[in-house]
Amino acid sequence: MRRWINFPRHEGITSRQAHADFPEEGIYEREVGRSGFFGPAAHLHHKHPPTNWVDWQGPLKPRAFDLNQLEAQDVETATSSPWSAPTILKNAHCQYRIWHCNAAMNKLVRNADGDELLFIHQGTASLYCDYGHLEIVQGDYVVLPRSTMWRLEPHEPMQILMIEATNDSYQLPEKGMVGPHAVFDPAVLDTPKINDKFLAQQDENTWQVEVKRHNQLSEITFPFNPLDAIGWHGDLSVVRLNWRDIRPLMSHRYHLPPSAHTTFVASRFVICTFVPRPIESDPGALKVPFYHNNDDYDEVLFYHEGDFFSRDNIEKGMVTFHPAGFTHGPHPKAFKAGMEYKKKFTDEVAVMLDTRDALEIGEAASKVENLEYINSWKG
């Protein structure tokens, strides 16, 4: 057994509480925390923004990738199979890909390496899987349990963010004292149906299944369509959740940490969803994300749509990557606007990945990196 060294102290000029009523000469609060936002933390008040660097040398730095600029051959290659989608970031417990699916898949696929999470950035499709048929639309999360067979028939070109929980599973976060129906009620989770559309796709033609295991592909051929179920029962299934069904926790007097917006949890990372909400209205409350050192987790944000209120020059379809080990927070203009309370409501939708293990940058991401992102915090 072990426990954190814990001794709450206070030194010099500070606020009475975190993230509120800053001292006049120390409005730049910085949170230094462990275990994400669940461990011990200290809140330091600075005279200057802790991100106002003038030079940065070395590999540890914030990165930004414009996935809209992926080369045509990367997109074309990725169309035929999700396993050809270019890798943006990865570690031993997670793979983060972007997949362009523009035509009906002519094979079934199965991921034997772990659960797969699809976030539908663009497009709509019919999903066929072991459990039946499900219509999916822009803004949907689709959780595919490990080794589920599936395929898509897009109704229009699709862009899909794929996050694999390698050798792991996706589960729901513990919601504590707010109860199981907060953030989203599990009643809004949709499951596939054994309906007429699913039964109509069953045939006696030859079908292949591409199985991914240890990042290697095997192909299994059947003399019939193996999606031939006539029914199922149990408590394991593909599930769908649309971000529009998420009702975020919020406080008009306190800026909640990202962990309050957790949507799915794996053993070594979490997925959070930022959706439109009122901005804190209390005069003393911080109104933008606080400067912080998240020194145990890498942070990744995929920007789906809207106006990203804590960032400058970030558009939908882009990804920012803030590795553990340095202070980060809102861009200067965003911080100033927050202090002036110019906006009363956020209208952003973004998917955040927080990983306990360091992420590596994929070759495809390196091709579309914005090398000037490091300079966007300069005062």
Q: Tens digit of pLDDT for each residue in 131-171?
A: 999 999 999 999 999 999 999 999 999 999 999 999 999 99
Instruction: Please tell me the pTM assigned to this model.
Output: 0.94
How do strand 291-294 and strand 28-33 relate by DSSP bridges?
parallel
* Polymer length of the chain: 379
pLDDT, block means (10 residues), the chain with 379 residues: 85 88 85 83 89 91 94 63 95 97 95 98 98 98 98 96 98 92 95 98 97 97 98 97 96 88 97 94 87 89 86 88 90 80 88 97 95 85
Structure confidence at residue 291 (pLDDT): 87
270, two tokens: 């979490």
Ranges assigned E (strand) in 15-66: 28-33, 41-46, 63-66
Structure confidence at residue 163 (pLDDT): 98
Q: 24 near 348, Cβ under 8 Å?
A: no
Structure confidence at residue 86 (pLDDT): 93
- Amino acid found at 164: E
Structure confidence at residue 92 (pLDDT): 98
**How much is the CA Rg of the chain, to the nearest whole Å?**
22
So what's the architecture of 72-168+185-243 in CATH?
A: Sandwich (2.60)
**What H or E segment, with its residue span, contains residue 67?**
none
Name which of 35, 36, 167, 169 is nearest 91 in CA terms.
167
Structure confidence at residue 309 (pLDDT): 67
Structure confidence at residue 76 (pLDDT): 60
Q: What sign results for the dihedral spanned by CA atoms 229, 230, 234, 240?
A: positive
Structure confidence at residue 98 (pLDDT): 95
Q: 34 near 295, Cβ under 8 Å?
A: yes
Name which of 272, 296, 302 is nearest 357 in CA terms.
296
**Which residues make up the CATH 2.60.120.10 domain(s) of the chain?**
28-65+247-377, 72-168+185-243
Structure confidence at residue 139 (pLDDT): 98
Structure confidence at residue 377 (pLDDT): 83
Structure confidence at residue 311 (pLDDT): 75
Q: Which fold has domain 28-65+247-377?
A: Jelly Rolls (2.60.120)
Structure confidence at residue 77 (pLDDT): 57
- Amino acid found at 262: T
